Amino acid sequence: MTMTKKLLGTRIPNEIIIELKDYCQSHGILINHFVTEAIKEKLNRMKKREERIKKEETLEE
């Protein structure tokens, strides 16, 4: 399955960029891959958290 990709412009503090570049370079990871996976992981955690909160609210009613 081919995934269409879009360019996302964002402002990230220079210190984080330096740390990201160093980490990716030392681990042989493409920055794009690392950032994509990090966003997916964060979205999944946030969705699970929201689902848990909804369930808790439903139980309280």
**In the chain, what are the domain boundaries?**
15-60
Of 30, 26, 32, 46, the closest CA to residue 3 belongs to 32
Predicted TM-score (pTM) of the model is 0.79
Would you give the DSSP letter of residue 3? P
Q: What are the tens digits of pLDDT across the range 19-60?
A: 999 999 999 999 999 999 999 999 999 999 999 999 888 887
If pLDDT is split at 50, 70 and 90, which confidence band does 14 have? very high
pLDDT of residue 16: 97
Across 7-30, average pLDDT: 97
What residues have CB less than 8 Å from 34, skipping those under 6 apart?
A: 20, 23, 24
What residues have CB less than 8 Å from 23, skipping those under 6 apart?
A: 29, 34
